[in-house]
Amino acid sequence: MAEIQKEQIGFPILGQKAPDFEALTTQGTLRLSDYKGTWLILFSHPADFTPVCTTEFMAFSDIYDELKKRNVELLGLSVDSVSSHIAWIRNCEEKMGTKIPFPIIADLNKDVAKKYGMIHPEQSKTETVRCVFIIDPESKIRAMLYYPLTTGRNMSEILRLVDALQVADKYKVATPANWKSGDPVVVPAPVTAEQAEERLKEGYECKDWYLCRKKLPES
């Protein structure tokens, strides 16, 4: 039992290569490596045909086109069968009017869930909690969110997080609290006294030498 629990709570680490997998999905057998070159949001939900998960799936579908514009694919997961997933997404389309355009992993043996620390025994011993892993085109884990069973995720925050990561990569900057696309970004703090002295003369909007912001070219 201790062995099982130890295996289930082995969490991935930010910046590490995302654990590889090959999994049966609603769109065939997929491997993590199939997503190389694109960003991937791998997310789990507790179970098909449950109310909060249904609202989340409709919400993920709503942001799907925005994610595609950002070169991001979505991949869902739960400990349900492909048949259950197919029945549920057909139900979402028939009853809610929402087509689910992305694949969903049928992780009945929990292979992927265990690799990504998706099962938190204090929440449920059999269901995955509401995880989000943002994986970059080089298959590195760049951000992780873990929500409890009771609480649906915020799609605006997920989009904001993707934007922030992509901006950080493109411009070698950081993003301040509550940043959203188009806002000024934070210039990385100087690491030498000389750089600190020069920083105040570089034309940025500075509160002090360690907190300077700038507008990005396209914003």
Partner 1 sequence: MPCVSPDGKPTTSGMAVLKSLKEGSASPEEIASRTGQPLFRVRSGLRELTNSGFVEEESNKYGLSKTGETAIQ
HEC sequence for 134-176:
EECCCCEEEEEEEECCCCCCCHHHHHHHHHHHHHHHHHCCECC
Binding of partner 1 by 99 (CB under 8 A) = no
Binding of partner 1 by 183 (CB under 8 A) = no
Binding of partner 1 by 30 (CB under 8 A) = yes
Question: Partners of 44 in the beta sheet?
Answer: 77
Q: Which residues are catalytic?
A: 53
User: Residue 187 corresponds to which amino acid?
Assistant: V
Nearer to partner 1 (CB atom), residue 64 or residue 204: 64
Smallest distance from partner 1 to CB 82, Å = 11
Q: What CA–CA distance (Å, rounded) separates 77 from 18?
A: 15
Tokens coding 114: 């265990």
Smallest distance from partner 1 to CB 170, Å = 21
115 three-state secondary structure: helix
Tokens coding 214: 């700038």
Q: Among residues 29, 150, 178, 192, which is the contact residue for partner 1, using CB under 8 A?
A: 29
Smallest distance from partner 1 to CB 163, Å = 21
Binding of partner 1 by 35 (CB under 8 A) = yes
Q: Which of 76, 74, 51 is nearest to 64 (CA)?
A: 74
Binding of partner 1 by 31 (CB under 8 A) = yes
Q: What CA–CA distance (Å, rounded) separates 138 from 87?
A: 34
Stretch that binds partner 1, among 26-34, 89-97, 126-134, 204-212 (CB under 8 A): 26-34
Binding of partner 1 by 38 (CB under 8 A) = yes
Smallest distance from partner 1 to CB 75, Å = 8
Q: Among residues 9, 58, 73, 124, which is the contact residue for partner 1, using CB under 8 A?
A: 73
Q: What CA–CA distance (Å, rounded) separates 113 from 127?
A: 9
Q: Which residues bind partner 1 (CB under 8 A)?
A: 27-31, 33-35, 37-38, 73
